Amino acid sequence: MKNTLLHLALCLTIPFNLQAQDTIPVSFDEAVRIGISQNLDFQMVSNRQEVLKAEKINAKLSHLPRINMGSTAGRNIGQQFQQVEGELIVTNEIQDYITGNVDVSMPVFNGARRINMTAATRHFAEAGQNEVQRAKEEVMFNVAQQYLQVLLDEQLYNIAVENLENQKKQLEQIEGFVDAGLRTLADLYNQQSEVARLETVALDARIQWETDLWTLAEILQMENNALPKPQAVDVAAFGSDLLALSYPQLYDIALSNRKDLLQQQSLEEANRRLLAVSRAQLYPQINAFFNYSTFSTSFDQRPFRDQFFTIYPQRSFGLRLNIPVFNNFDNRLEVTRSKVDLKNQNLQKRALERQIAQDVKLSYENYRAAIRRDEATKLQLKAAEEAQKAISERFRLGVSNFVDLAQANQQLVTAQSDQAQAKYTLYFQDIIMRYALGILESEGL
């Protein structure tokens, strides 16, 4: 009795909650766009691409010279050293001075460090782009899964409501049969019990529908007072040509299109380039330099312009050779770290290749099983409909008992539910297959 009252209370509150919320019709493509724009993980992955782009630009510009300019203006108070006619005179003076300098440096040879770093950042940028695409597919997959689950829940609820209405009509017929003396009170009570049970079944289906609808709203990050209303998808007219391909052909498609595998391949190549960058530190380096410096002092009474631009400017340029002899094992440590990173990246790529093979195999077999299940449930539904019609007629004529009728009704509802689940499962299996192959697109789903 407590459970019945609880279900009745929920049944009364659910319609009120629905009316209090704004329901927004949403197609699958719109749901995907909303999900992508609102998904936190996808936004964070997209934001990281800004850093990768900046690193790529930085690596390209590293091939150009570095130019730095500086200037200092100051005052010295105290002992000042001046050389006059071969003598060093020390006096307490106040000296105002201004200096300026321009430093230019450019690597001439550094073991192809710049070239490998540029290539590494390019591969990192490519890996980032593939990561964004895979994250987008993952959002699409999650949205599709919940979107279709809500549509299936709605259809299961409609089946439960239709069955409840049919049983209520059956109850009215049995009441007439009892009044006419054609049926016993036991049949009436059994039917009343069955109607009460089906009310609970319909309520549970409604609660499940509402729960999954709220989950979809959470995935789409909708406002607190808004609920999506998914538009129907024609799962009955669905067809796909993926099963016309063999498993090896599907696996080849996955190897060519899986963005996460392409990401791992780019990361592996990037780490290989970084290993070359770390090894470049073991070789001698040659850098070209140019320095221009000048100053002006208050000890010199000549004009500032003459001092700063004519009298005191100095220029120096040349090549600087740096030979690593002993650096406390720092260079060797960097090489070792790069080797380990490359090995670990290779392990991750190989593990992903095995996972892709399993994903494609499982999705392929499940797809074929979904087709067989859909065909079986069609036959199941057709047989259940014929059986229910025959037993209903026999019950009306007084030949069959209530148990046979209740069993036939239950088998019909089960067949209807199984057929609905089979159709949506088959439709979703195509999405799973495309997700496993890396070719999932929102259009046309």
Give pLDDT, residue 82: 64
Confidence of residue 442 (pLDDT cuts 50, 70, 90): low
Give pLDDT, residue 10: 44
Q: Alpha carbon of 433 to those of 77, 142, 385, 422: distances in Å?
A: 81, 14, 33, 16
Listed residue (304, 309, 430) closest to 367, CA to CA: 430
Q: Element (H or E) spanning 166, and its range? A: helix 113-179
Listed residue (335, 344, 345) closest to 274, CA to CA: 335
Confidence of residue 225 (pLDDT cuts 50, 70, 90): confident
Confidence of residue 204 (pLDDT cuts 50, 70, 90): very high
Partnered with residue 319 across adjacent β-strands are 288
Confidence of residue 327 (pLDDT cuts 50, 70, 90): confident
pLDDT, one tens digit per residue, over 28-69 is 889 989 999 988 999 999 999 999 999 999 999 999 999 999
Cα angle 114, 115, 118 (rounded to 5 degrees) comes to: 85
Confidence of residue 162 (pLDDT cuts 50, 70, 90): very high
Both tokens assigned to 194 = 């069955």
pTM to 2 decimals? Answer: 0.81
- Other Cβ atoms closer than 10 A to 59: 20
pLDDT, one tens digit per residue, over 268-319 is 999 999 999 999 988 999 999 999 999 998 878 889 998 899 999 999 999 9
Q: Is residue 125 over pLDDT 80?
A: yes
- Percentage of the chain beyond pLDDT 90 is 62
Q: To the nearest 10°, the Cα dihedral for 23, 26, 30, 32?
A: 90
What span, in angstroms and rounded, lies between the C-alpha atoms of 341 and 115?
Answer: 20
374 by Cβ neighbours in 10 Å (0-12 / 13-18 / 19+) ranks as buried
Spatial contact of 238 and 426, defined as CB atoms under 8 Å apart: yes
Alpha helices in 288-401 (DSSP H): 304-306, 330-396
Architecture of domain 2-38+110-283+329-437: Up-down Bundle (1.20)
The domains of the chain are located at 2-38+110-283+329-437
DSSP 21: S
Spatial contact of 121 and 108, defined as CB atoms under 8 Å apart: no
What span, in angstroms and rounded, lies between the C-alpha atoms of 35 and 42?
Answer: 9
What span, in angstroms and rounded, lies between the C-alpha atoms of 222 and 22?
Answer: 11
DSSP readout, 286-316?
Answer: EEEEEEEEEEEETTS-S-HHHIIIIIS-EEE
Partnered with residue 320 across adjacent β-strands are 287
Confidence of residue 184 (pLDDT cuts 50, 70, 90): confident
Instruction: Specify the 3-state DSSP secondary structure of 71.
Output: strand
Both tokens assigned to 224 = 């607190």
Q: To the nearest 10°, the Cα dihedral for 332, 53, 36, 359?
A: -40
pLDDT, one tens digit per residue, over 128-147 is 999 999 999 999 999 999 99
Give pLDDT, residue 15: 47
Give Rg (Cα) of the chain.
Answer: 39
Torsion angles phi and psi, residue 39, rounded to 5: -70, 125
Instruction: Specify the 3-state DSSP secondary structure of 234.
Output: coil
- Other Cβ atoms closer than 10 A to 201: 18
Confidence of residue 13 (pLDDT cuts 50, 70, 90): very low
Q: Is residue 20 over pLDDT 70?
A: no
Listed residue (264, 274, 259) closest to 121, CA to CA: 274
Spatial contact of 371 and 427, defined as CB atoms under 8 Å apart: no
Mean pLDDT rounded to a whole number for the chain: 88
Give pLDDT, residue 6: 42
